[in-house]
Amino acid sequence: MRISPPPISVFLLFFLLSIVFPHNLSLGDPIVTCSGIVPMKHRSAMLSISDFGAVGDGKTLNTNAFNSAIDRIRETNTSDGTLLYVPRGVYLTQSFNLTSHMTLYLAHGAVIKAVEDTKKWPLIDPLASYGRGRERPGQRYISFIHGDGLVDVVITGKNGTIDGQGEPWWKMWRDGTLKFTRPNLIEFKNSSNIVVSHVVLQNSPFWTLHPVYCSGVVVHHVTILAPTDSPNTDGIDPDSSSNVCIEDSYISTGDDLVAVKSGWDEYGIAYNHPSRDITIRRITGSSPFAGIAIGSETSGGIQNVTVENITLYNSGIGIHIKTNIGRGGSIQGITIAGVYMEKVRTGIKISGNTGDHPDDKFNPSALPIVRGITIKNIWGIKVERAGMVQGLKDSPFTNLCFSNVTLTGTKGSPIWKCSDVVGAAAKVSPTPCPELTAAAHQGGTCENQT
């Protein structure tokens, strides 16, 4: 199955340097991490998928082996949990469900690969905060690896691979023959204490890693790959989730690298489950869309998000905060700092007119509130447009702070475009729009704008 990553050697060089020498640290300083919010557990028992008849030849169907092994773990239910070991080999399987208190461990050279037959893929109910499948009305296809109502689950290893073989799904989307919303590669729903680390996730049919209605989620040292033309293959999408840590990862996909979400229009407003207390740190990658995104599904609210030490290349938008009329909800307490971007069409975009609607029942009077956004220490070269900051006439975006932002263009100085926003700017080049400098001219500063 094809993968078309960008020049890995260049990206991995910067990625490794960003891990060893983070942008905000000097030599000898400890590396700041949030990964300890979910401690890794020692498993007292171990099973091998080979003991359940699995054959890693890339041809044998191993769905029964995975289901039998996970059933055994569920039945044993030890307090310390069980590690399920996947040795070197290519293990073809249909989708399967994980259970609580387990570690799925992929050895070096181990590949868990999804079947390409989409006809027998199970369907599940849509998410309550979306009201329907994200792409099509009605049900949605279950994720390749799925967990619902779980606690204490780890997916890790020695950089083994989980391959969604997304090409048939992408083709159905392009051809217009898709009947239901495509499956995510991995989804955890209503779960807590989740860790995903030291694995390669590739060729997702839809979003790659989707924790939704979760708390206590750590993702670190993962590599996420999909062709740049693969539709909607977001990297990591924390959705109506809290206490999330995403660190030290390389992502190159066909859509946003990391996108924080919280429900869709009237359904997300009714469900009312925000995404909050999220840290995104030391991410390197490339996307035809956004490097770091907030939205556009923001109806449950998004609060207290910290983004820092990000390196982006060959991308559509560096930083994108996006919402729309009908969304409602609030986006506030967002701090983005220490971002380097190169060859990006738009450096910074904050928009109130982005994203579609689930149906015609959304309330156009449900306007989002966007305030308290701090963007600082941004450096970009070969940036075509510096920024677009466009609020809503009846709900202007307020308390925006831009400081120490330098964006240089390929042909002269890139420009800013703003409307219906109020904020302050300090040490920003090129000179931002009047809407972002008026407060400073009146004696205001970024510090008293947030």
Confidence of residue 9 (pLDDT cuts 50, 70, 90): very low
Measured CA to CA, the distance from residue 205 to residue 241 in angstroms comes to 22
Structure confidence at residue 78 (pLDDT): 82
- CA dist., res. 163 & res. 144, Å (int): 9
Q: E strands of 238-329, at which residues?
A: 242-252, 258-260, 275-286, 290-294, 302-322
pLDDT 10s digits, 186-209: 999 999 999 999 999 999 999 999
Residue 100 lies in a domain: no
- What CATH number is given to the structural domain containing 286? 2.160.20.10
Lowest mean pLDDT, pick from 46-55, 72-81, 247-256: 72-81
pLDDT band for 92, please (50, 70, 90 cuts): very high
Least trusted range by pLDDT, from 25-34, 89-98, 219-228: 25-34
pLDDT-derived band at 380 (thresholds 50, 70, 90) equals very high
Cis peptide, bond prior to residue 227, ω within 30 of zero? no
Asked, for residue 57, whether it belongs to a domain, the answer is no
**Residue 358 is part of which domain span?**
256-449
> pLDDT per residue over 123-158, tens digit each?
999 999 999 999 999 999 999 999 999 999 999 999
Q: What is the pLDDT of residue 447?
A: 54
Predicted local distance difference test score (pLDDT) of residue 337: 98
* Residue 3 reports pLDDT greater than 60: no
Catalytic residue among 152, 163, 255, 277: 255
Over residues 313-330, the pLDDT tens digits come to 999 999 999 999 999 999
Q: Are 400 and 428 in contact (CB under 8 A)?
A: no
Confidence band, pLDDT 50/70/90 cuts, at residue 213: very high
Average model confidence (pLDDT) across the chain = 92
Residue 426 in domain = yes
Classify residue 194: in a domain, yes or no. no
Summarised one tens digit per residue, pLDDT across range 261-306 is 999 999 999 999 999 999 999 999 999 999 999 999 999 999 999 9
Confidence at residue 24, expressed as pLDDT on a 0 to 100 scale: 45
- pTM of the entire predicted model: 0.93
Q: Classify residue 351: in a domain, yes or no.
A: yes
Residue 197 is assigned to a structural domain of this protein:
no
The pLDDT value recorded for residue 12 is 44
Region 412-434: mean pLDDT is 91
The torsion angles phi and psi of 18, rounded to 5 degrees, stand at -70, -30
What does residue 265 show for φ and ψ, rounded to 5 degrees?
50, -135
17 or 106, greater pLDDT: 106
Mean pLDDT confidence for 359-367: 97
Closest CA to 448 of 430, 427, 422, 429: 422
Distance CA 19, CA 220 (A): 11
Residue 402 placed within a domain: yes
The answer to whether 244 and 237 have CB atoms below 8 angstroms apart is no
pLDDT at res. 190: 98
Closest to 66 (Cα-Cα) out of 120, 117, 115 = 115
pLDDT of 7 reads 45
Asked about 255 being catalytic, the answer comes back as: yes
Residue 347 has pLDDT above 50, yes or no: yes
Number of domains in the chain: 1
Burial class of residue 5 in the structure, from the number of CB atoms within 10 Å of its CB (0-12 exposed, 13-18 middle, 19+ buried): middle
Q: What's the rounded Cα separation, in Å, for the pair 367 and 338?
A: 30
Query: Which pLDDT score is estimated for 359?
Result: 97
Contact status, residue 43 vs residue 83, Cβ threshold 8 Å: yes
Q: What pLDDT does 27 receive?
A: 52
Residue 13 lies inside a defined structural domain of this protein: no
* The pLDDT value given to residue 437: 77
Percent of the chain with pLDDT over 90: 86
pLDDT band at 77 (very low <50, low <70, confident <90, very high): confident
